[in-house]
Structure 1
Amino acid sequence: MQFNSLDAFLNARPPEFTKGPSAMIFAEDEVEIDSTLRHHHKAGFKSVILLAPPSFRIARDVQPWTTRVDYDLNRGDRIEEAVTRAANIAVGAWLYYCYNAEYLLHPFCEHRTVGEMLTFHGEERRDAMLTYVVDLYAGDLDQAPNAVALDDAWLDKSGYYALARKDPGNHGYPKERQLDFYGGLKWRFEEHVPPDRRRIDRISLFRARQGLRMNPDFTFNDEEYNTYACKWHNNLTATVCSFRAAKALKRNPGSTYEIDTFRWHNSAPFDWTSSQLLKLGLMEPGQWF
């Protein structure tokens, strides 16, 4: 199914999307679109939506279960507008969003679907889930000049930290159960990354409702959605494993010639398992057994 605009898609209110859980994949370029779609379909999302320019091609095997929406982030369309408007037509459904060449992994995802996880999360009276965007990068930039290599992916095994999220409306005091998280390539190469784009936390999974609005910094207008856990105990978190920062650093003329490799002494091969991310502390199982 294909829609020639976001308006057309929202007006159609596809039943599988409004029921959820649904994944919205925003394509900035044509790198690994197909693998991104396949990964999230396999994860258990009932509806997978590709928001991309009509010129971007996808493989035949993903076409039957992918809904296409013409949407061009490179020509002024904004991800926060699409997510906000989608949340207002899929009330009660769980939604997820990411960019191409980004892959959601959650605790025990090898054996449990994203739908099972979200059912459990909702039973804990949570309507949103914190995700950490963990940077992936190719181990050999000579073989992968765009820094993307699924079969030779690496990640940082340390160097992550959190700072209190200050509330400008309350004299700069820290917000309750909210933190700003940093690390990965945006930390190691921060001189090439604007300060407002260095955080690695997103609320990538959330329950849609009327009046919910996503902000440009990946937070929501409901402060409870932005918390990492409830007041009673730790909750589940998940990880978005992303080549996006590596791609940008190699594409940017101001940084590409200064980077011969992304690997350093704290790099490790990524094995594409949730157990590796759990051991590194890059996701939290909470009460999810």
Structure 2
Amino acid sequence: MQYDTLTAFLTTAPEALRRGPVAMIFVEDDVEVATTLRHHQQMGFAQVLAFLPAAFALPDDLQESVHRITYDTTADGAVETAVTAVAAAGAGTWMYYCYNAEYLFFPFCETRTVGEMLAFHSEERRDAMLTYVVDLYADDLSAYPDAVSLDGAHLDRSGYYALARTAPAANAAQKGRQLDFYGGLRWRFEEHVPHERRKIDRIALFRAKPGLTLRGDHTFSDEEYNTFACPWHHNITAAICSFRTAKALKSNPGSTYAIDTFKWHNSAPFEWHSRQLLDLGLMEPGQWF
């Protein structure tokens, strides 16, 4: 299913947004596009929307199962514009967004679907879920100069922290139940990362509604969406295991020659299993057992 523009998709296939949950995958380059799409299908998303330039091809087995939308994902504000527009058109539907070479994991995802998790989350009167972007990187940059290797993927097992999030007002009052999270490659190589891009928290799972706007820092215009938990107990959180930062650091001329390896004493092979992420504290099940 192919659409030449986002407007064409919203006009001709609005029923797709009523059968959720919906995953929006924004393709920035041709790295691991097919594996990203297949992974999210396997997680249980009813609809997968692939936003990608016309020059990129999809394998035959994804031509009919994925909604391909021709879109310039690298333009300023492109992702925010698309997520906001899709959210307005699919009010009430749970949605998710990420980039290529990023893989969603949630507690017990090997035996439960994302729809089951979101059904429980909805029963807790939550309309959004905090996800942590956990950096993945190849163990051998000489063999994988773009820093992407599914078989040799590693992550940091420590070095994560949170700071209180403050409002931009003059008194800088702390925002309730909101934190800024840091760690991974953006922390270890912060000299190569602009300050505004160092956070690893993203509100990637949310219930769409009219008037909801995605902001450039991966938060939403509704401040309750940006909270990590409800007032009475901890909620489920999820993780997006991502090669995106590693790719950027190795493709940027200002950093690529300064980095010979991403491995350090706190690196560990990524096991591609939710149990490892739970054990490391990179997501939590809340009250969902």
TM-score (normalised: structure 2): 0.98
Query: Quick one: distance in 1 between partners of 2:127 and 2:77?
Result: 27
Q: Deviations over 1:172-231 (max 9, x none)?
A: 021000000000000000000000000000000000001101101110010000000000
Which residue in the other structure is 2:118 paired with? 118
> Aligned AA for 2:32?
E
TM-fit CA distance, 1:137? 0.1
AA of the residue aligned to 1:133: V
1:255 offset after TM fit, Å?
0.5
Partner of 1:6: 6
- Structure 2 residue 67 is matched with structure 1 residue 67: yes
C-alpha displacement of 1:17: 2.4
Q: Which moved more, 1:67-76 or 1:140-149?
A: 67-76
1:40 — aligned with what?
40
Matched to 1:63, the amino acid is: Q
**Aligned residue number for residue 221 of structure 2:** 221
Are positions 1:80 and 2:80 aligned together? yes
Q: Which residue of 1 aligns with 2:181?
A: 181
Partner of 1:101: 101
Further displaced range: 29-38 or 76-85: 76-85
Identity %: 63
* Deviation, structure 1 residue 170: 6.3
Counterpart for residue 198 of structure 1: 198
- Mapped to 2, the partners of 1:186 and 1:174 lie a distance apart of 24
Work out the CA distance in 1 between the residues paired with 2:136 and 2:181: 17
Aligned equivalents of 2:245, 2:165: Cα separation in 1: 23
Summarize deviations over 1:56-104 as a string: whole Å, max 9, x none: 1111122220110011123446100000011001000000000000000
**Per-residue CA distance 1:138-159 (angstroms, 9 max, x = gap):** 0011111100000110000000
Which residue number corresponds to residue 262 of structure 2?
262
Distance 1:76 1:265 in 2: 37
Quick check: 1:90–1:208 contact (8 Å CA) kept in 2? yes
Deviates more, 1:170-179 or 1:69-78: 69-78
Q: CA offsets, 1:6-35, max 9 Å, x none? A: 111112243232321000000000100000
Q: Work out the CA distance in 2 between the residues paired with 1:24 and 1:181.
A: 23
Give 2:115's aligned amino acid. G
Contact preservation (8 Å) 1:53, 1:70: yes
Question: Helix, strand or coil for the counterpart of 1:147?
Answer: coil
Question: How many aligned positions are there?
Answer: 289
Q: Secondary structure at the match of 1:272?
A: coil
- The one-letter amino acid of 2:272's match is W
Please identify, of 63-72 and 37-46, the stretch whose mean Cα deviation from structure 2 is larger. 63-72
Verify the 8 A CA contact 2:133 2:200 in the aligned structure 1.
Answer: yes
Question: What is aligned with 1:139?
Answer: 139
Change in 2 beyond 3 A, CA 1:76/1:176: closer
Q: Which amino acid aligns with 1:168?
A: P
Letter in 1 for 2:126: R
1:9 partner SS:
helix
Indicate if the aligned counterparts of 2:21 and 2:46 stay in contact, CA closer than 8 A: yes
- Could you tell me which amino acid in structure 2 is paired with residue 246 of structure 1? A
| Letter of the 1:225 counterpart | Y
User: What residue identity is the alignment partner of 1:284?
Assistant: E
Q: Which runs of 4+ in 1 moved over 6 A?
A: none
**CA distance, structure 2, for counterparts of residue 51 and residue 263 of structure 1:** 32
**Quick check: 2:17–2:89 contact (8 Å CA) kept in 1?**
no
Q: Distance in 2 between matches of 1:275 and 1:169?
A: 40
Structure-2 change in CA distance of 1:63 and 1:254 (3 Å): same
Distance 2:104 2:76 in 1: 26
Distance 2:213 2:13 in 1: 19
- Which residue is 2:282 aligned to? 282
Which amino acid in 2 is paired with 1:89? Answer: A
Tell me if the contact between 1:178 and 1:227 (Cα under 8 Å) persists in the aligned partners.
yes
Partner amino acid, structure 2, of 1:287: Q
